[in-house]
Amino acid sequence: MASICLCFQVHQPFRLRRDFDFFSIGSQLSYEDTSLTAAVVRKVAQKCYLPANQLMLKLVNEHKGKFKIAYSLSGVCLEQFEQYCPEVIASFKKLVQTGCVELLGETYYHSLSFLFSKDEFQAQVRAHEEAIGRYFDIKPTTFRNTELVYNNQLAEAAEAMGYRLVLLEGADRLLGWRSPNFVYRPASNSNLRLLLRNYRLSDDIAFRFSNAAWEHYPLTAEKYAHWIHSVGASSQVINLFMDYETLGEHQWADTGIFQFMQKLPTAAFARENVRFQTPTEVTQTHVPVGIIDSPYTTSWADTERDTSAWLGNEMQRSAMEYVYSLESRVRNTGSADIIHAWRKLTTSDHFYYMSTKRSGDGEVHRYFNPFPTPYDAYVTYTNAVNHLNESLIANSVVREERPAREAIHNAYL
């Protein structure tokens, strides 16, 4: 019997002020747009998180625990829920208490830190574990790196940190002739397990569901379940990974997305060759059939399935290099506020907004971009990092002056 592994990414970045210009650097003005951050998370909570969580709880109860799901909740998103809509956290707690939900580990700040600083990566993963433990009294054992960024070294790092399973993209160039619908092991030949996203079936819901020009439009639960049954006949697992915001935000309620999700479990259970399982349950049920060797880095973004969504042009690369160049100085301040501010600037969304891709991928980037152009995103971001750099300089001066002042004071005692 094949498993349906349904995993949702839940994430919102802290927003930057679009009017934070060069002349704002070093001023008392904050580069964070708290009003916009609050407005966005409250809007998405009403359109997606609250109704979707209510629906998922209903499905779990209706199907008497046979419907299983998993969530990857970024730390910065949990912060926003706590500050602006705590009822969302309460609704996730109700879901977790059913025993039918698995919470995954990731980087607290939804960053690409693994590619730039292994120490920072580990710190952010541990911070996320602490947050999941604090809110839900759970320690994750499945790891989902930001945007499914993965390579052989990521598998080794995750296992060294105690994880037993890693999720990644079922990229064609990674799989070759093989199918994403099986459990695999990494090239290190370890005890770690790998689950690969079936991007075709996932994107049928996430991107194509409301596209009237799509040959399979409209997508019904019965039609989709038929596809799943066909795949499941010769597979171990169908991994459906997508943004939770697909439900109600990316695909608005009037597209019928909630009705689709409500009917999907019943349609899937119409035949006995599939069942819903959490990622951990999948690996407890199915044995690995082979090894995935990934000497290069893959992700779930864009047609390339690589890191070009965040590092594809010179603006993105220079911005990323700039912010990580401050790492040691940030840590040396010993200031929790400065470290937290810097880490929020490592969130991957900031670099995604700077993409200059065209055609289909470019349209997706523009849809998610709150800035008029990628260049506006770059300028605003650079101004914000420059502002943080000014605070580092000021902090350094204070730290250097304090011993001198104390020495003069002590001389007169």
Higher pLDDT, 284 or 404: 284
- Report yes or no: 370 and 353 within 8 Å, Cβ to Cβ: yes
pLDDT digits (tens, 9 = 90+) for 239-283: 999 999 999 999 999 999 999 999 999 999 999 899 999 999 999
Q: How far is CA 204 from the centre of its chain?
A: 19
Q: What is the pLDDT at residue 366? A: 75
Q: Residues in the chain, how many?
A: 413
Residues 370, 304: Cα–Cα separation, whole Å: 23
Instruction: Indicate the pLDDT class of residue 401, thresholds 50, 70 and 90.
Output: very low
> Does the pLDDT value for residue 117 go beyond 90?
yes
Token code pair at residue 25: 């650097």
pLDDT digits (tens, 9 = 90+) for 164-218: 999 999 999 999 999 999 999 999 877 999 999 999 999 999 999 999 999 999 9
Q: Is the peptide bond before 372 cis (omega within 30 degrees of 0)?
A: no
- Report yes or no: 293 and 185 within 8 Å, Cβ to Cβ: no
Residues 409, 82: Cα–Cα separation, whole Å: 45
Residues 302, 207: Cα–Cα separation, whole Å: 12
Segment 28-51 mean pLDDT: 96
Tell how strand 274-276 and strand 2-10 pair up: parallel
Q: How far is CA 14 from the centre of its chain?
A: 14
Residue type, 300: W
Q: What is the pLDDT at residue 276? A: 98
Phi and psi based region of residue 251 (left: phi greater than 0; alpha: psi -120 to 50; beta: remaining): beta
Nearest to 243, CA basis, from 203, 214, 209: 203
Domain topology for 2-292: 7-stranded beta/alpha barrel (3.20.110)
pLDDT digits (tens, 9 = 90+) for 294-344: 999 999 999 999 999 999 999 999 999 999 999 999 999 999 999 999 999
Answer yes or no: pTM beyond 0.85.
Answer: yes
Residues 353, 370: Cα–Cα separation, whole Å: 8
Q: What is the pLDDT at residue 188? A: 86
> Does the pLDDT value for residue 393 go beyond 70?
yes
Active site residues: 147
